[in-house]
A = this chain, B = another copy of it.
Amino acid sequence: MNSNITIYDVAREAAVSMATVSRVVNGNPNVKPSTRKKVQDAIDQLGYRPNAVARGLASKKTTTVGVIVPDISNIFFADLARGIEDVATMYKYNIILCNSDQNPEKEIHLLNTLLGKQVDGIIFMGGRLHEDLVREFKTSPVPIVLAATLNQDYDLPAVNIDYESAAHDAVKSLIDNGHKRIGFITGPLEQQINGEKKFAGYRSALEEANLPFDEQNVVLGNYTYDSGMKAMNQLLELGDACPRAIFAGTDEMALGVIHALQDAGHQVPEDFEVIGHDNTRLATMIRPKLTTVVQPMYDIGAVSMRLLTKILNKEEIETNNVTLPHRIEQRDSTRS
């Protein structure tokens, strides 16, 4: 257990060279079984624990990957992180976790810190990729994969779902239920996923059904419960023109929407239908249970990490840009 036992002590104890000890520790097959045993015994007896830092210096591999997320206390990113961690563990990697708060300067700073720590790779998640960041990514000495994050040119490894088509499907399901006016509560438009993809999906579904686009049906939030409530209340002020079907960009906002409606004396789904996005655990913790687009965050995390290991192991890779399937989970906040 003592931590000042070095490979050299083991070598002396087992009467071999440190190279041989190293071979045993690393499972190198070129060791005679009898010496292997001798060394293993010495290791057990001394309680030797290899120093990963020294190992990292000598081998230039740290078996550690950096993970940058906006905010781990958000259930959404926490799920992602768990997916990453699980497959990291599977491949014997550890995770250095960092919160960026979506702050571009902090993102760059964190990237540099991680590179300084010689991580073997990085998984990044953020709403918007500042061009400085992309430049740094492209010159990075270690591979970087984007999780649930789009980059303009699709030239970085990334794992996403098809946000446009997901939004399209959600809005279409509302239209199919007979709605002519659909409310859309989304996150900041400068984030590509909201501003381009989800928004495009919303519009294309309207167009497809020959419904007019009306700017006042679109309200911006910041992903939170409160912003969802606020957005819905704003919509409610439209009076008769208020859409009776709402597509919210996150589950948390959808909960806010539902509660805003209930607080105003409306029934969901009888008077208003609402559909969320992400399928976090929250979705089943509300009455009525929330119909939502499932974005499999855990899977995105897991697949991102798997993709990273493939790159690290130089395995054959079909595509750098993987798109995971989405679907709509029908629950009780919409009429089926």
Binding site for B on A (CB under 8 A): 1-3, 49-54, 56-57, 62, 64, 71-75, 78-79, 81-82, 85-86, 89, 94-99, 112-113, 115-118, 136, 139, 141, 225, 252, 255, 259, 262-263, 281-282, 284-287, 298
A94-B113 in contact (CB<8A): yes
Contact A117-B286, Cβ < 8 Å, known A64-B96, A85-B72, A94-B98: no
Q: CB-CB < 8 A to A2: which residues of B?
A: 141
A72-B64 in contact (CB<8A): no
Q: CB-CB < 8 A to A281: which residues of B?
A: 225
Contact A52-B117, Cβ < 8 Å, known A57-B57, A285-B286: yes
* 18 A-B residue pairings within 8 Å (CB atoms): A1-B139, A3-B141, A49-B112, A50-B116, A51-B57, A52-B117, A53-B53, A53-B117, A53-B118, A64-B96, A73-B78, A75-B78, A81-B97, A89-B99, A94-B113, A96-B97, A225-B284, A287-B287
Q: Which of A64, A73, A255, A282 has the most CB of B within 10 A?
A: A73
- The oligomer's copy count stands at 2
Q: CB-CB < 8 A to A287: which residues of B?
A: 259, 262-263, 287
Output the nearest chain B residue to A256 by Cβ-Cβ distance.
B285
Q: CB-CB < 8 A to A255: which residues of B?
A: 285
Q: What are the 5 tightest A-B residue pairs by CB atom distance, in nearest-first order?
A: A73-B82, A78-B78, A3-B141, A97-B97, A52-B117
Contact A116-B284, Cβ < 8 Å, known A64-B96, A81-B72, A95-B97: no
> What is the minimal beta-carbon distance from A98 to any residue of chain B, in angstroms?
7
Q: CB-CB < 8 A to A263: which residues of B?
A: 287
Q: CB-CB < 8 A to A262: which residues of B?
A: 287
Residue from B49, B96, B118, B252 in contact with A95 in the complex, judged by beta carbons closer than 8 Å: B96
Output the nearest chain B residue to A66 by Cβ-Cβ distance.
B94
Q: In whole angstroms, what is the CA distance A51 to B54 when docked?
A: 12
B49-A3 in contact (CB<8A): no
A78-B72 in contact (CB<8A): yes
Q: CB-CB < 8 A to A1: which residues of B?
A: 136, 139
